[in-house]
Amino acid sequence: MLQQRLGHRFDDQRLFEQALAHRSHVAESTGASSNERLEFLGDAVLGFVVTEHLFATRPSLPEGDLARIRAAVVSTDALARVAGALGVGEALLLGRGEASSGGRRKASLLADALEALIGAVFLDGGIDAARRLVIELLLDAIDAEAAQRVLGDPKNRLQELVAQRGAPPPSYVVDGRGPDHERHFRAEVRAASVVGRGEGRSKKRAEQLAAVDALAALEQLADEAEEGRARTP
């Protein structure tokens, strides 16, 4: 059931149904409303939640990188992949023509419906419910894009930076948990004087995110050292 996969049970079922109603369905129905207004609202909520999350969790990234990560995560293709995995296409309410022409697989329709569902969750449960939904659905995509924004591969970059400081190579420890179809990995890397941690659905992803975390910590230490030198008479 789609509501179960979303992790939100609607108090107002009309909002859930409207979020799935494409205008082609409305044209063939009496008294129905399309999901376009909810899509408009959901787009704004989605952008806010992703921006808020990036600002809070990526303090070392400049504004330009934050904007590029957000754009990639909320793109039509990215949202369509998430919606497809949730089974949104099967639940869409489409007109006969749109359904027969493959509308349930169209990226634009899937992305629009996912945004409408986010808007509907916001109206039904408030910003906290919408925030939980967005982060649950997009956290892996956010982390992956953030890892790619570090110059070069983050593991290689970390190794180079540590070598420049004359410290031993980074040391990774990875722990995998869960059944094969829902495997989750946690990685920890010790590099120079810092420890970085990351989580992901693959060993590689977890190690990359641990490296990103360690790079951010080393950058912060460098900034603090620079500030200390500047204060020294």
Phi-psi label, residue 195: left if phi above 0, alpha if psi -120 to 50, beta otherwise: beta
The DSSP secondary structure of 63-76, one letter per residue, reads HHHHHHHHHHHTSH
Catalytic residue among 39, 98, 112, 115: 115
> Annotated catalytic, 43?
yes
Q: Long-range pairs for 100-108 at CB < 8 Å and ≥24 separation?
A: 103/22, 103/24, 107/76, 107/77, 107/80, 108/76, 108/80
Catalytic residue from among 39, 43, 98, 143: 43
Q: Report the distance separating Cα 32 and Cα 151, nearest Å.
A: 50
Catalytic residues: 43, 115
